[in-house]
Structure 1
Amino acid sequence: MSIFISPMMAVIGTRGKNDIINAVPVPESELKKRNEELEKELKESKEREEQMRRQLKITWERLRVAEDAEERLCSQLGELEAESVYHARDYHGRIVSLMDQLSNAQSLLHKALPSSSTSS
């Protein structure tokens, strides 16, 4: 599309090989009005773009905070897992020790009971 402006009128149309096709004369006041509309749309578009940039920055910051929190949680989870393994091993060792004590006590009782029952 080409725009040709005269002092009082303008012509808007498409250009071919040195020919103006579908040329429509447009008064200068309409061109100014259209220009103002386009400038207003451009300003609104820039404002929307700036708002989107601010929202993107806020979202980016929230993502960074969430990633930091995730790293801390993973670290804490790892520490808790290591501590639970330590406690499980400790409890297992205590259970084995108690089972050995119980086995020894049962063995002693078993040895003591037959001798006391035979003497009676």
Structure 2
Amino acid sequence: MARTSTKAAMDAKEVMRRNAELEKAAAEAAAREERLRRELEAALARLAVAEEAEERLCVQLGELEAEAVMQAVEYQQQVRELSERLAFVDGILRSSSSGRRGAIAAGMD
């Protein structure tokens, strides 16, 4: 009987040791889970900030694109106006040049 009680005591001691190991492992797992949860929350917060920044950048980019289109239209209009003025002045110069050539030719006769 002493042998049985010694064996039972050793088994009980082994069960208690194993139980302590499992409790320790469970506590470590819970701590790791809590740490990972906090890291996940921080990552989600950073993601929200990044998404907000992306939205602001998209809005700014859209505004810059609209401004660039307006500037391009204005520039094209200026180029057209200058081309028209240049063509007008060129026409005047050609007509006055032809008139002078005609007058010179008439005077040479």
TM-score by length of 1: 0.78
3-state DSSP of counterpart to 2:57: helix
**Letter aligned with residue 29 of structure 1:** K
Confirm whether residue 54 of structure 1 aligns to residue 44 of structure 2. Answer: no
Confirm whether residue 100 of structure 1 aligns to residue 84 of structure 2. Answer: yes
Number of aligned residue pairs = 99
**Letter aligned with residue 28 of structure 1:** A
The structure in which a higher percent of residues are strand is: 1
In structure 2, runs of 5+ residues without a counterpart are 105-109
3-state DSSP of counterpart to 1:9: helix
The structure in which a higher percent of residues are helix is: 2
- Percent identity for Structure 1 against Structure 2: 41
Ranges of 4+ aligned residues in structure 1 off by more than 2 Å: none
In structure 1, runs of 5+ residues without a counterpart are 1-5, 11-25
Confirm whether residue 31 of structure 1 aligns to residue 15 of structure 2. Answer: yes
3-state DSSP of counterpart to 1:44: helix
Confirm whether residue 9 of structure 1 aligns to residue 8 of structure 2. Answer: yes
For 2:96 and 2:55, the matched residues in 1 are separated by: 61
RMSD: 1.6
1:62 Cα offset (Å): 0.5
For 1:46 and 1:29, the matched residues in 2 are separated by: 25
Which protein has greater RCO, CA pairs closer than 8 Å, 6+ apart?
1
